[in-house]
Amino acid sequence: MGQIVMKGQSSRVSVGILTRRPPDDPVRMFGPPTRFFEECCAAGEALGLQVLVFDAKDVCPETGTVSPAFFHENRWQACEPVRLPDVLYDRAAFFDPVYASPAHRIRLALIEAGIPFINPVDILRLASNKWDSYLRLAGYDLYLPETEPLVPGRIVQWLDRYEHIYLKPTEGSQGTGIIEVARSEAGRWQIQKGSERREVRVRAEVERAVIEWTGNRVFWDGVYLIQEGISPEPVQTRTLPRFDLRALMQKDEAGVWNLTGTVARVNRKDVPTSNLSTGAWSEETESTLDAFLGVCRRRAIMEDMEASSFAICRGLDRDVRPFGELGIDFIPDRENRLRVIEINAKPGRSGFKRLALSEEVSESVRKRFRQIREVSVKRPFLYARTLVKG
């Protein structure tokens, strides 16, 4: 792929996407998100924007230039150095052990250059830390699962109160590292991490088993949280698949919050999470709630989800910094309360895409989710235009 000069770049508003260019993926220039970035380039082009995609190492702060790639005529093309983008859409990892440090150096350089971010670093940092985000959300009159930092001896104390808990990495994502502990119908304690499962007889053995499993990593300073397990039914007699609900909130061209779409993420009963990365599949929110909980509960849950989503985004806008998009995950509990599980400041769209391409739903559903997917890709670029002065 040869380098070319990007003509007209100086006269058009440009949006840069900061990501990672993996060295071990010869087919996809930017790894798994490559297809999403292709859609971003097309959406930006349709709005008259130039979309530049680059790795941290492509940026030269000293000269105020970047050597990006862009998607044009159905192929990726490299570009000779051009000026830094007018707006940044930050999709780079925040805690990757290899990539986070160079990415953060470039974030700081772009901030120093006065470049606005669709989602500023303060929002990215908050959403990347489950404890910090829990403390912030606790001030917004929401239903949250009880959560606190995990320290030695706390597991046994919590199992005196709850028959279902989670141990979660404070800075984890996509279900990685999550450990579930639940009391079985026979009265034993089942401990599960991914596909691995253990069973012990008494509460005191749970903490020992977790320590053996993780090499005591769960008790390093602030590394793990302990959280109340949330389920719409008793875990001992679970009949429903695991599921959660994802709401995607985005600002539009007027800088106004919109609920772009919702989707249910459904998984098998024997899997501790409902992340798409752990084997879950996408379903319509409405039909999932109707089937699992009934129409009356569905209506109340949908209303609560919308109200809570707006409350969260408006609160963070006011109390942290204005920003452009947020994914919010919910699970209904046994008392019909909708619990906010976590927030994601780099929300994916794959849940919408899976339904847009699914052969197991009607054409009307596919069409609806194609439209949601298209809007979800376009809205960050509509919002980006509001960030450019003049």
What pLDDT sits at residue 268? 82
Q: Which residues of 226-236 are buried (b: 16+ CB within 10 A; e: fewer)?
A: bbbbbbbeebe
pLDDT higher than threshold 80 for residue 230: yes
pLDDT higher than threshold 60 for residue 3: no
Question: Picking from 5-9, 23-27, 179-183, 364-368, which range would have the lowest pLDDT averaged per residue?
Answer: 5-9
HSE (side-chain half, CA atoms, 13 Å) at 222:
5
Extended strands (E) in 194-256 = 196-200, 224-228, 242-251
Q: What is the mean pLDDT of residues 366-379?
A: 97
Given pLDDT bands bounded at 50, 70 and 90, which one contains residue 8? very low
Question: Picking from 162-166, 170-174, 198-202, 350-354, which range would have the lowest pLDDT averaged per residue?
Answer: 170-174
pLDDT more than 90, % of the chain:
66
Token duo for residue 47: 């709005």
Query: pLDDT tens digits, residue range 296-311?
Result: 899 999 999 999 999 9
Contacts of 86 (CB under 8 A, 6+ apart): 13, 14, 15, 115, 384, 387, 388
What pLDDT sits at residue 231? 92
What pLDDT sits at residue 2? 47
Higher pLDDT pick, 268 / 3: 268
Q: What is the mean pLDDT of residues 172-184?
A: 82
pLDDT higher than threshold 60 for residue 390: no
pLDDT higher than threshold 50 for residue 217: yes
Given pLDDT bands bounded at 50, 70 and 90, which one contains residue 177? confident
What pLDDT sits at residue 196? 82
Rounded to the nearest 5 degrees, what angle is found at the Cα of 156, between the Cα atoms of 151 and 221?
Answer: 10
Mean pLDDT, the chain, integer? 90
**Element spanning 152, H or E:** none
Contacts of 312 (CB under 8 A, 6+ apart): 137, 140, 142, 249, 326, 328, 340, 343
What pLDDT sits at residue 175? 65
Higher pLDDT pick, 222 / 305: 305
Higher pLDDT pick, 140 / 235: 140
Q: What is the pTM of this model?
A: 0.93
In order of start, what are the domains of the chain with their CATH numbers? 3-117 (3.40.50), 125-142+239-386 (3.30.470.20), 147-229 (no CATH)
Q: Best-predicted range by mean pLDDT among 115-124, 196-205, 219-228? A: 115-124
Query: pLDDT tens digits, residue range 45-84?
Result: 999 999 999 999 999 999 999 999 989 888 998 889 999 9
Higher pLDDT pick, 38 / 194: 38
Token pair 């953060």: residue? 104
Q: Find, among 20, 28, 3, the residue nearest to 59 by Cα.
A: 20
Taking the chain, what is the end-to-end CA distance rounded to the nearest angstrom?
36
pLDDT higher than threshold 90 for residue 371: yes
- Within 10 Å of residue 346's Cβ, how many Cβ atoms? 20
